[in-house]
């Protein structure tokens, strides 16, 4: 099972859209995919469920907030496996034996970050609690009920709070959607630096607090930067976008060859709700679906284990 976090500090760069479509396309290719919505804005959840449905069936006890609450002792502990739901419309559109499941989110997830921030004083006690929470999702994903998934895709909030950190620590790979603009380009380098620093700290703490959790080294790699919302002219990214894409390549990060074009009609209107664009039968611009399919193929290629050096 691979665990991949879809992450960028910057808001509105297409993280949730990419998570939903990538997950859907992989499931359509026969994989068993679990999506985890770790953003209190709950946009990923609402790409698959009507708000009324979420309120009636999920809000009070079937979201990832419930799991973090159990972890903190605010409620009885539950396993991640107990929180999994299967969105009907998306699964009905799948061709083969694949499946797309979800652990939904909740606005109250912000409280987890806040509680930790004001919870314990500085010093060893704080460091131990931080270490415990940062490693919690990695631990929670070691759940027999989740063994059948080929891939877990985590949609992160646009911040670097402790919940986002727990996603990074749980991940084998990171996928970074980005817009081709100045701030996104700067942000990617900054994010990469912070991820390295987080892992360095976590690995050091892992030796220091070996009584809390058995030592294991984490080192998630970047599976790729995916450019989204690209404007095209004569089928090519406009010059301004191409420049920023080249800058990110120059950082040495793997940039997926295919970028996702901007198409407000297709992405901004969520109809029919619950079915990601890539699964829809009739769309006005089929090239968008092809781009999403190519991005999926390129992403999969990055997940293959590196050949072992002779």
Ligand X SMILES: Nc1ncnc2c1ncn2[C@@H]1O[C@H](COP(=O)(O)OP(=O)(O)OP(=O)(O)O)[C@@H](O)[C@H]1O
Partner touching 260 among ligand X, Mg ion, none, CB below 5 to 8 Å by kind: ligand X
**263 touching ligand X, by CB under 6 A:** yes
Q: What is the dihedral of CA 211, 3, 48, 77, to 10 degrees?
A: -10
* 105 versus 206: smaller Cβ distance to ligand X: 105
**The token pair that represents 289 in the structure block:** 């679906």
Start-to-end Cα distance in the chain: 26
* 5 versus 206: smaller Cβ distance to ligand X: 5
**264 touching ligand X, by CB under 6 A:** yes
Q: Which 221-280 positions form the footprint of Mg ion (CB under 5 A)?
A: none
Distance CA 261, CA 269 (A): 16
Q: 3, 4, 5, 17: which one contacts ligand X (CB under 6 A)?
A: 17
Strand, coil or helix: 39: coil
Q: 16, 28, 42, 63: which one contacts Mg ion (CB under 5 A)?
A: 16
Residue 37 — φ and ψ, nearest 5°? -90, 105
Q: 15, 32, 59, 261: which one contacts Mg ion (CB under 5 A)?
A: 15
Q: 262, 280, 283, 298: which one contacts ligand X (CB under 6 A)?
A: 262
Partner touching 308 among Mg ion, ligand X, none, CB below 5 to 8 Å by kind: none
Shortest Å, Cβ 242 to ligand X: 17
Reading phi first (left if > 0) and then psi (alpha if -120 to 50, else beta), residue 14 is in left
Q: Which residue has the tokens 């290719």?
A: 29
Distance CA 86, CA 89 (A): 9
Shortest Å, Cβ 293 to ligand X: 14
If 0-12 CB within 10 Å is exposed, 13-18 middle and 19+ buried, where does residue 265 land?
exposed
* 9 versus 131: smaller Cβ distance to ligand X: 9
Q: Which 30-89 positions form the footprint of ligand X (CB under 6 A)?
A: 39, 41, 43
The region of 97-105, 138-146, 217-225, 264-272 touching ligand X under the rule CB under 6 A is 264-272
Distance CA 266, CA 289 (A): 10
If 0-12 CB within 10 Å is exposed, 13-18 middle and 19+ buried, where does residue 44 land?
buried
The region of 10-18, 91-99, 118-126, 200-208 touching Mg ion under the rule CB under 5 A is 10-18
Query: What does the binding site for Mg ion look like in residue numbers (CB under 5 A)?
Result: 15-16, 43
- Contact positions toward ligand X, by CB under 6 A? 11-17, 39, 41, 43, 158, 228-229, 260, 262-264, 267-268
């Amino acid at each position: 099972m691979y665990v991949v976090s879809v992450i960028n500090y910057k808001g509105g760069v297409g993280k949730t859209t990419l998570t939903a479509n990538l997950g859907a396309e992989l499931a359509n290719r026969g994989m068993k995919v679990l999506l985890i919505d770790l953003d209190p804005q709950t946009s990923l959840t609402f790409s698959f469920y009507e708000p009324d449905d979420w309120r009636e069936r999920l809000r009070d006890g079937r979201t990832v907030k419930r799991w973090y609450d159990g972890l903190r002792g605010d409620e009885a502990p539950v396993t991640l496996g107990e929180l999994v739901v299967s969105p009907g419309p998306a699964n009905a559109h799948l061709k083969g034996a694949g499946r797309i499941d979800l652990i939904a989110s909740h606005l109250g997830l912000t409280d987890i970050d806040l509680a930790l921030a004001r919870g314990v004083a500085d010093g060893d006690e704080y460091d131990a609690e931080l270490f415990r929470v940062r490693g919690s999702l990695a631990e929670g994903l070691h759940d027999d009920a989740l063994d059948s998934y080929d891939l877990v895709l985590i949609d992160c909030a646009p911040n670097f709070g402790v919940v986002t950190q727990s996603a990074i620590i749980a991940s084998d790979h990171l996928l970074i959607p980005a817009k081709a603009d100045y701030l996104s380009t700067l942000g990617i380098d900054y994010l990469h630096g912070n991820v390295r620093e987080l892992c360095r700290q976590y690995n050091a703490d892992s030796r220091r607090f070996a009584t809390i959790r058995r030592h294991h080294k984490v080192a998630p790699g970047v599976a790729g930067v995916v450019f989204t919302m690209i404007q095209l002219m004569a089928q090519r990214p406009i010059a301004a976008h191409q420049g920023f894409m080249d800058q990110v390549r120059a950082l040495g990060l793997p940039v997926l060859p295919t970028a996702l074009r901007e198409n407000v009609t297709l992405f901004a209107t969520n109809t029919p709700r619950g079915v990601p664009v890539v699964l829809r039968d009739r769309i006005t611009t089929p090239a968008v679906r092809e781009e999403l399919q190519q991005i999926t193929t390129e992403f999969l290629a990055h997940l293959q284990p590196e050949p072992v050096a002779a």
